[in-house]
Amino acid sequence: MSPNYIRSFSEGCLRPPTVIGQFHTLFFGSIRMFFLGVLGFAVYGNEALHFSCDPDKREVNLFCYNQFRPITPQVFWALQLVIVLVPGAFFHLYAACKSIKQEDILQKSSYTGFYIFSVFLRIVLEVVAFWLQIQLFGFKVNAIYMCDVGALDKKFNITRCMVPEHFEKTIFLIAMYTFTVITVILCVAEIFEISCRRLGILKTQ
């Protein structure tokens, strides 16, 4: 791929053809990633080390933590961010290879339809991630987790585990749900903006 294609691709990713799309890029690329990268590490970075059960044995702690966290929230949200970026990245890669200028995307119906489809696909992926997050983490992190340790051939089947900083994790969960809702709203608003531009209600940039 030539340097011109790479430059066009990067400009397309950083400067979408709509005002709301540009705001979404700013919100998505800076605030959301900063929140996850910095605060997420502070809240979840040492969770496995401080997760303790009764009896406080390493094998019990590891077994119960894996049961409590089939996937860590940090990994899940990082995957969510990457996957949600894919539709837009494919579109801008296509536009770069076809030498389509950003200002021309909203002028030709085929380009506009392709772009709207990428935004719609982004909405679908965010909604799926929202549903998966509910199934995996719920809306609240309890201070006590009841772990089934029957598979370890222990004399007891259920043990109590302490979840560290459960209140902070609850707040973080709510914040990540909020970010997902905001990005979905921005995507819907972007489709609305494109429709208004196509109908001539708003002036095309």
**C-alpha dihedral (168, 72, 25, 14), degrees to nearest 10:** 140
User: 3-53: per-residue pLDDT in tens?
Assistant: 554 555 555 555 667 778 878 777 776 788 888 878 877 788 778 888 888
Calpha distance 162→146 (Å, rounded): 9
Q: Pick from 30, 34, 65: which is nearest to 47 by CA?
A: 65
The arithmetic mean of pLDDT across residues 77-81, rounded, is: 88
Whole-model pTM?
Answer: 0.82
CATH of 17-195, one of 1.25.40.10, 1.20.1440.80, 3.40.50.2300, 2.60.120.430: 1.20.1440.80
Calpha distance 198→109 (Å, rounded): 9
The arithmetic mean of pLDDT across residues 166-180, rounded, is: 89
